[in-house]
Structure 1
């Protein structure tokens, strides 16, 4: 009898895993394959990847009623803070367009099927490849190491190119991004608004980009030090929003943190995030440098393996996250929207499985796609905040996009 129950339990686990795998495969198949575009002309203007190669993007044309509507979505991929990490990065597709795949599957927010992306499927949809390592803020060169920190120029070159391809007639436009790209969408949101015609309805969307200014489990400032090094190396400070840097006194580099930038933003913006963001738990709260004994190793991989004491620390992190959102004005501003679920996840809009599938996370009986669509079209000014972990049974069991460690 005992053995029979064990066999049935094991079979059930395997069937659940198989169902999950098949769901992921089928959802991936929904993504249209979109070819790459290289901006060769941008090289002469200094708008280049870390290795000096041209910037690139993937462009799926709009159609019908969406032909004058535009989504510019920035890829994620972390940052490089010193010469050593930037030299390593330029040998990958996150530092060189020469190493990027030529075709990219569009899904989720960039999907082209009306059923699964009803509000945006027929828009012009662009995925900007991320190859500068500074969330598109840098403007410096290191000739001794042949490194180019030109993120700011890349952003302006790509927007200029798209304006020449019809975005100058846009009725609606959205700047979005995931992770480091979600941070780039925040830092460049008002600039994007200024580069488009005044008649265009412009809003921004940040997915897993609200990185908070918080201490780690050892009481250190790992993420503050990290961002300061990124800003210094890339020469980012002069390109961070002046509405923020002008208020930060001798610490303008702190404007890498969204909680200080969002306070004075003019352009409407929507945040999709989790206060239990898996990248932030792993790298802001419990980075390896603050966890010498590796006490957090198993917990960071799976929250169900955390001790009661660790879960209390994580819940404190959630409160710090909510406090940062509140002080930034996100929780009560009429121009800011929010979908804050309690999933242990990082980046949720780029995959159909979390954007608007049958198994997508739900907050307030609403999936991410509907929440953002309702907010963008002013159907409902949503600010959805989930209950504490582990209250939400609709959260996926797997973190589909863990992101690189810092």
Structure 2
């Protein structure tokens, strides 16, 4: 198996950091001749045997943990979470050929649409940096494992924590802030962290990719062009949403439950003024919160990664669990393999609706699509990044091909249950009421 010199050095660095190399040196340091032999052992680093050893060793390395960074001067900038604590992110520096390339990932975690739900949220990591993990594991597209993330393993990587409850969009228009003790500052968080990252090297980026998961995936539709505008005109800049293509669709009762929910989010966080003007001139504001409308106004090259059987959308958009649809639907939502034929027929109708909304976008020259048939939600920051495949192409390969212009990527999987590489979510611990 061929790997680049840079990858081989990176794997040796990991091998040494984990102690394997140091332990070996210590064991022979007292034996002069053996130490010389060790040097000759390391010298042919790029032999097939050594490359294979390093590759096998790396597959079992410890988690790649990245420290939490609190935004500098967050309070002075009003860049604070729902509870007033500083905005935060995780950052790891790139190296080698990736030293001027950047991935910025927006964390997800649904939304809060009422004062009471936002107050509950601020007592969690989705509303307070005081409660966030001090380290976060970077996997998938954020991984430093060259064998699983060959195109992006050595890039600068940032994970921006989500703590505003409105997809990084609120500013300071909350009329009830003094009464509730809530701070709706998502847009200020976005702008302030971007400003700080520019000083940490982003302003000199030669390549950059904005992505996000779920509510963070929706945020990429809103922030993609502004992200592009921050960077040098010579830079390659693209965006992709992971599990963020939420569908403006009726639920099984015929109601527009998700549109009503988004209307409440918009009203509470005072978001109407940030919606595309050309959209709200012709549609209800809540409709302009959906990616199928937002994508029409994005100029930057964009890729949509989504499951046609996205479990979050099946539960909250199609079935609308709050309507208490019954035990049969609860079993189906818990495990798609427990769904009846009639339920699968309804879910496949939802799939067809999703695909139909993507037809115009699919014809854009710079667009990318990777729509699989797995019962999953976010996929790019997990092991699914390299294990899930459509037509023998993994998500990692597809995103790399699209981003680097190696190949056109407009892939739509066949209908469930056709894909043998799928690992379907088991939601047996999920609360349905």
Which of 361, 364, 367 is residue 391 of structure 2 equivalent to? 364
SS in 2 for 1:350: coil
* Conservation of the 8 A alpha-carbon contact between 2:143 and 2:149: yes
Instruction: Note if 1:333 corresponds to 2:389.
Output: no
Bigger drift between 102-111 and 36-45 goes to 36-45
Aligned to 1:22: none
The alpha carbon displacement at 1:242 in A equals 3.9
Aligned to 2:256: 221
Kindly report which structure 2 residues correspond to 1:232-251, keeping only aligned pairs within 5 A, or say none.
232-248=267-283, 251=284
The alpha carbon displacement at 1:307 in A equals 1.4
The alpha carbon displacement at 1:330 in A equals 2.3
Q: How far apart, CA to CA, are the structure 2 residues paired with 1:306 and 1:215?
A: 20
Aligned to 2:419: 392
The alpha carbon displacement at 1:40 in A equals 3.5
Q: How far apart, CA to CA, are the structure 2 residues paired with 1:168 and 1:53?
A: 27
The alpha carbon displacement at 1:28 in A equals 9.4
The alpha carbon displacement at 1:239 in A equals 2.0
Label 1:402 to 1:125 Cα distance change in 2 as closer, same or farther (>3 A).
farther
Q: How far apart, CA to CA, are the structure 1 residues paired with 2:128 and 2:404?
A: 37
Q: Residue by residue, what CA displacement relative to the aligned partner does 1:4-41 show, whole Å, maximum 9, x if unpaired?
A: xxxxxxxxxxxxxxxxxxxxxx9896541111110131
Q: How far apart, CA to CA, are the structure 1 residues paired with 2:178 and 2:407?
A: 51
Higher RCO (CA < 8 A, seq sep 6+):
1
Instruction: Note if 1:188 corresponds to 2:223.
Output: yes
Instruction: Note if 1:42 corresponds to 2:77.
Output: no
RMSD: 2.0
Label 1:74 to 1:88 Cα distance change in 2 as closer, same or farther (>3 A).
same
SS in 1 for 2:108: coil
Instruction: Note if 1:343 corresponds to 2:374.
Output: yes
Label 1:35 to 1:84 Cα distance change in 2 as closer, same or farther (>3 A).
same
Q: How far apart, CA to CA, are the structure 2 residues paired with 1:252 and 1:30?
A: 46
* Conservation of the 8 A alpha-carbon contact between 1:182 and 1:206: yes
Q: How far apart, CA to CA, are the structure 1 residues paired with 2:155 and 2:429?
A: 29
Label 1:299 to 1:331 Cα distance change in 2 as closer, same or farther (>3 A).
same
State the structure with more CA Rg: 2
Q: How far apart, CA to CA, are the structure 1 residues paired with 2:268 and 2:297?
A: 26
Q: Residue by residue, what CA displacement relative to the aligned partner does 1:360-389 show, whole Å, maximum 9, x if unpaired?
A: 121121000000000000000110000001
Aligned to 1:3: none
Could you tell me the TM-score, scaled by structure 2's length? 0.83
Q: How far apart, CA to CA, are the structure 1 residues paired with 2:429 and 2:242?
A: 13
SS in 2 for 1:148: coil
Which of 289, 306, 310 is residue 339 of structure 2 equivalent to? 306
Q: How far apart, CA to CA, are the structure 1 residues paired with 2:271 and 2:394?
A: 35
Aligned to 2:132: 100
Label 1:190 to 1:285 Cα distance change in 2 as closer, same or farther (>3 A).
same
Aligned to 2:50: none
Aligned to 1:171: 206
Aligned to 2:188: 153
Q: How far apart, CA to CA, are the structure 2 residues paired with 1:404 and 1:235?
A: 29
The alpha carbon displacement at 1:253 in A equals 3.0
SS in 1 for 2:238: strand
Q: How far apart, CA to CA, are the structure 1 residues paired with 2:330 and 2:59?
A: 31
Label 1:402 to 1:197 Cα distance change in 2 as closer, same or farther (>3 A).
farther
The alpha carbon displacement at 1:403 in A equals 8.7
Q: How far apart, CA to CA, are the structure 2 residues paired with 1:180 and 1:202?
A: 21
When the two structures are aligned, how many residues end up with a matched partner? Answer: 373
Aligned to 1:355: 385
Label 1:322 to 1:405 Cα distance change in 2 as closer, same or farther (>3 A).
farther
Q: How far apart, CA to CA, are the structure 2 residues paired with 1:147 and 1:366?
A: 45
* Conservation of the 8 A alpha-carbon contact between 2:101 and 2:156: yes
Aligned to 2:244: 209
SS in 2 for 1:330: helix
Label 1:193 to 1:241 Cα distance change in 2 as closer, same or farther (>3 A).
farther
Instruction: Note if 1:32 corresponds to 2:32.
Output: no
The alpha carbon displacement at 1:401 in A equals 12
Q: Residue by residue, what CA displacement relative to the aligned partner does 1:235-255 show, whole Å, maximum 9, x if unpaired?
A: 11222344543443xx12322
Label 1:292 to 1:78 Cα distance change in 2 as closer, same or farther (>3 A).
same
Q: Residue by residue, what CA displacement relative to the aligned partner does 1:161-189 show, whole Å, maximum 9, x if unpaired?
A: 10111110010111100111111111111
* Conservation of the 8 A alpha-carbon contact between 2:322 and 2:432: no
Q: Which runs of 5+ in 1 are unaligned?
A: 1-25
Label 1:228 to 1:30 Cα distance change in 2 as closer, same or farther (>3 A).
farther
Label 1:287 to 1:393 Cα distance change in 2 as closer, same or farther (>3 A).
same
Label 1:289 to 1:110 Cα distance change in 2 as closer, same or farther (>3 A).
same
The alpha carbon displacement at 1:399 in A equals 4.9
Q: Which runs of 5+ in 2 are unaligned?
A: 1-57
